[in-house]
Amino acid sequence: MLYLGIDGGGSGCRAAVADEAGRVLGRGAGGPANIASDLEGARENLLRAARAALADAGLPESEMPRLRAGLGLAGANGRGFAERLRAALPFAEARIVSDAVAAVKGALGERDGIVAALGTGSVFARQRGGAVRLIGGWGLILGDEASGAWIGRAILSQALRAVDGFVPQTPLLAALVAEQGGPDGVVNLSLAARPADFAAFAPRVVASDDPAAREVMDRAVAEVAAAVDLLQEGAALPVVLLGGLGPVFAARLGGRWAVIPALGTALDGALLLARGG
């Protein structure tokens, strides 16, 4: 039996083919694979990555119908998308979950624990007895607390509040407004900004000792702590902090819980799902 794992998101997808012993035989890559925004395009990119992984393993494309697949895909939590994709794939079996679930499986394997994924966006999850519960991940407009985008938006909001006199002016807030050409420039930026554009301000906030930056980061730390505590439900589960901001929060939350390194990646999680994990 051959197993196929695919980790797919809005920027691209990665695939791996493994044997029954779990040994990876070949790897491949494809284009964007968000099945909520472009299901047909995602399908083509997923199949391209699968073909590349088979070729890398020295296997013919005719092996495709024999593959047991695990796919962790952006958009899979949307209503009906996973079912439509599954019906259009040639694999023997296809287990389709969100990319967040695959990341949890990769980070924890079969262990119980909590994962906080903190990058441009954020999502939190607990695995217990193999079952995964997700919280957050609702996007910047409605959530994504403590993410890079959330931090960037928060510091720009504080900059405008300082202009109005609601909060004290600080060197960082004044500089941000000046760099955008004044308050109107900050507003214009916000009207066209994507989450990644807001997240571009996060490294500056994280590294700054400015009082406004410290206040935003204190709020971000409190959001992470609240999410993890909610998932703990009085237990003492180990915590994995993933994403570009993972190390930042690990340093600021040290000692609160047992923070452990990830066992593997979302692609490893997809392979585990393919094997029934």
Give mean pLDDT, residues 245-271: 92
Taking 80 as the threshold, does the pLDDT of residue 10 lie above it?
no
What are the angstrom distances between the C-alpha of 81 and each of 49, 73, 85, 88, 248?
Answer: 19, 10, 6, 11, 34
Which pLDDT does position 146 carry in this prediction? 96
Tokens of 59: 């296997």
Residue 185, C-beta contacts closer than 8 angstroms, at least 6 positions apart? 177
Window from 45-49, 67-71, 231-235 with minimum mean pLDDT = 231-235
Q: Which residue has the higher pLDDT, 277 or 21?
A: 21
Look at residue 152 and tell me whether its pLDDT is greater than 80.
yes
Domain edges within the chain? 3-110+263-274, 112-237
pLDDT at 78: 79
- For 101, counting Cβ atoms within 10 Å of its Cβ (0-12 exposed, 13-18 middle, 19+ buried), the class is buried
271, 9 in Cβ contact below 8 A?
no
Please state the CATH superfamily assignment of the domain spanning residues 112-237 in this structure.
ATPase, nucleotide binding domain (3.30.420.40)
181: three-class secondary structure by DSSP: coil
Q: Residue range 73-101: average pLDDT?
A: 90
Confidence label for 32 from pLDDT (cuts 50, 70 and 90): confident
Q: Is 162's pLDDT higher than 80?
A: yes
Please determine, for residue 4, whether its predicted confidence score (pLDDT) is greater than 90.
Answer: yes
pLDDT of res. 26? 96
pLDDT tens-digit profile of 56-81? 999 999 999 999 999 999 888 778 88
Whether 112-237 and 3-110+263-274 are alike in CATH topology: the answer is yes
Q: Which two tokens stand for residue 259?
A: 């923070």
Task: Say what the pTM is.
Answer: 0.84
Assigned CATH topology for domain 3-110+263-274: Nucleotidyltransferase; domain 5 (3.30.420)
Res. 126 pLDDT band, cuts 50 70 90: very high
What pLDDT does 75 receive?
83
Angle at 124 between CA 219 and CA 204, to 5 degrees: 40
What's the mean pLDDT when you consider all of the chain?
93
Q: Is residue 137 very low, low, confident or very high in pLDDT (cuts 50, 70, 90)?
A: confident
| pLDDT score of 9 more than 90 | no
> Which residues on neighbouring strands pair with residue 241, listed in sequence order?
116
Quick: pLDDT tens for 166-204: 999 999 999 999 999 999 999 999 999 988 899 999 999
